[in-house]
């Protein structure tokens, strides 16, 4: 799942450090991609250092991996990625040479965040309001204790930029979503979107969005 969906999946939530932990694996993945340095947390090797905030971060990280595992094995995931692929197949694209399944996977995650924004923007407001509470010194220390990052302060700075820029709100903007999808598709080894591809992917977004909005967002959690 993507950022907002991970947060929504754990609601109700009023713990800023838990919320940060829920997002942190994906934040670190983005940092690694941009910096060329692999920085990750291992949910079975986390250190809390007898620190309440560290414990909350650890709990959020563990919930992130549990939710992702349930999400990727769910009928919701498989049915909707298949739907995206079927919609794409109706158009004449030149940009999908390979790994269409991976593209559909990422597109579903972005569209889920977009669905949440469309249905209730307050969910995103609440997420960012919690992240604003974070003490970045604590985040830097946590990164230092729990990763092999060469520059923990730089990693924490990436988290700080994430909360300041607030780009999740832009997922309701078609050109922004298309730009993100274009960039992801290129990382998958495919050609850049041309003008026809952009026109077609816009139609795919709108077609799939109608179908997704009619569905209930399930919680991806272990059954109690």
- The Cα 16–Cα 130 span in angstroms is 5
Q: Is residue 88 in some structural domain?
A: yes
Cα diameter, the chain: 57
* Separation between Cα atoms, residue 32 and residue 18, nearest integer Å: 22
Is the residue at 103 inside a domain? yes
pLDDT for the residue 134: 98
Residue 107 lies in a domain: yes
Residue 190 forms part of a structural domain: yes
Q: Which two tokens stand for residue 52?
A: 């309440």
Give the separation between CA 111 and CA 81, rounded to whole angstroms.
11
For 202, the domain range is: 3-213
Task: Inform me whether the pLDDT recorded for 16 exceeds 90.
Answer: yes
Instruction: Kindly report the backbone phi and psi dihedral angles of residue 217, in degrees, each rounded to the nearest multiple of 5, phi listed first.
Output: -75, 110
Tens-place pLDDT, residues 50-80: 899 999 999 999 999 999 999 999 999 999 9
Q: How many domains is the chain built from?
A: 1
Is 90 exceeded by the pLDDT of residue 135? yes
Phi and psi, residue 25, nearest 5°: -55, -40
Rounded CA-CA distance 39/20 in Å is: 16
Instruction: Indicate whether 220 belongs to any domain.
Output: no
Q: What values do phi and psi take at 220, rounded to 5?
A: -100, 80
- Identify the pLDDT of residue 221: 79
Query: 142 lies in a domain?
Result: yes
Question: What was the pLDDT predicted at 223?
Answer: 60
Q: Is residue 73 in a domain?
A: yes
Per-chain mean pLDDT for the chain: 95
Q: Please, which pLDDT band fits residue 219 given cuts at 50, 70 and 90?
A: confident
pLDDT tens digits along 196-210 = 999 999 999 999 999
Q: Whole-structure pTM over 0.85, yes or no? A: yes
The Cα 48–Cα 58 span in angstroms is: 7
Q: Which residues contact 119 (CB under 8 A, 6 or more apart)?
A: 213
pLDDT at 5: 97
Residue 222: is its pLDDT beyond 80? no
Does some domain include residue 222?
no
Going by C-alpha positions, the residue among 57, 31, 22 that lies closest to residue 154 is: 31
pLDDT of residue 50: 86
């Amino acid at each position: 799942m993507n950022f907002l969906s991970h947060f929504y999946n754990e609601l109700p939530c009023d713990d800023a450090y838990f919320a940060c932990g829920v997002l942190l694996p994906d934040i670190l993945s983005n940092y690694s991609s941009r910096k060329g340095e692999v920085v990750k947390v291992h949910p079975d090797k986390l250190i809390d250092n007898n620190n309440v905030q560290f414990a909350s971060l650890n709990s959020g990280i563990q919930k992130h991996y549990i939710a992702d595992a349930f999400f990727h094995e769910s009928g919701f995931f498989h049915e909707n990625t298949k739907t995206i692929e079927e919609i794409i197949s109706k158009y004449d694209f030149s940009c999908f040479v390979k790994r269409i399944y991976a593209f559909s996977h990422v597109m579903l995650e972005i569209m889920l965040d977009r669905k949440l924004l469309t249905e209730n923007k307050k969910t995103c407001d609440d997420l960012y309001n919690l992240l604003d509470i974070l003490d970045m010194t604590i985040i830097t220390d946590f990164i230092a204790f729990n990763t092999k990052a060469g520059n923990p302060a730089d990693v924490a700075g990436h988290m700080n930029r994430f909360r300041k820029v607030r780009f999740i709100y832009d997922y309701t903007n078609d050109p922004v979503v298309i730009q993100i999808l274009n960039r992801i598709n290129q990382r998958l080894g495919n050609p850049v979107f041309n003008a026809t591809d952009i026109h077609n992917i816009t139609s795919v977004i709108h077609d799939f969005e109608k179908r997704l909005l009619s569905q209930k967002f399930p919680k991806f959690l272990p059954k109690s």
